[in-house]
Structure 1
Amino acid sequence: MKIILFFIIYFFACNTMVCQELVIGKERIEPGIIFIFEGAIKDVVYPESINLSESLTNVHIEARVNWDFDNVPNGTPKGGFVPYLRINAIVKNRRTGVKTFIDLIPHINMVDNFHYARNLSLPGDIQDIYDVEFRINPPGEYELSFHKDWVDDFSKTLFNKKSFTYKKVSFFEIAKAKRR
């Protein structure tokens, strides 16, 4: 009975703006960092001088990057945001081969709190199918310093560069949706 109730509540909750996000992929890397890559509904983002206007946007592409709740280093804020990363995405239209490249920058909102994201104009029609590659670079040597105890247990870098590719992504439903 509890399972049925959960799915009923989930169904109605996900028909609201909060759940209207397309999960493109989920990854976990050591030392316990979780990446959730999403396509979200386009939005107004400030400052407007460095963010694509909502009227020119098809999708708000996101990377939620947080510490896991299990098997993380001592002192880690479980579930906390992982700062100072450099994340970019390459979105390729499978029909035309046209690509767009975008840097994801830190954002904050009332749904996901801190996350990396950017408004994006797709390189084609919203009904086209896309391949999406996310490239993640750890903090540079002048962006994050490491104490000896961390270096002794892990290394002088948070992690090595990572890349995750997802094929045949449809942004159609999320690109049609509106927040307000």
Structure 2
Amino acid sequence: MTRHLDQLPGLHEDVVESMPAGGSGTGPAVSGTREPRLPVNLDAGDQASQIDKDVRYIVGLVTSERGLAGPQRADVASRCAWLAEHVEWLAASDYAAEVRAVLAELVSGALRVISPIRKPIALGPCIQTVEDLACEGTLQANITNVDGRHPARIWCTHCGFEANTSHWFRFGEDWREHMRGVATTAVG
């Protein structure tokens, strides 16, 4: 959760900056006219709104459950910084898995908007265990490091597992072995 809360303010800024399409006409066509497409990136607008809404919701969850006042400022960066101060409580709460998944999806969604070439690739089921149960998440990967700000990595959409490129070979061996065991169990 901490990693996602650290990443979200910068990603939110990048998403907002990508909303105007610079006159390239990537938005919807003006219906019933020969006018060019609107110079707006609707996906960026949707994602910026989603980040704001979900972060605001998580702040509201913490404030209502803990009887606290929220952050002084209402921007995404202030809310994420405030949430980072309460991440231990969130991680121990009944909402931990849901909050983790929401934050991971916000980060993934922002990356899809600001860098379509870095759209995450779904690898398959996560092999980690969460509270002695198999993780229900999906492993995703970004395999290119375009600008140095968003490095190549593998992560789980649910449990918070992450592997950078220096760990990919060993992780690949573990994943392959796990999947062989799953296939053997299913056949047997």
TM over 0.5: no
* Structure with greater Cα Rg: 2
TM-score by length of 2: 0.21
User: Greater share of strand residues, 1 or 2?
Assistant: 1
Higher RCO (C-alpha under 8 Å, 6+ residues apart): 1
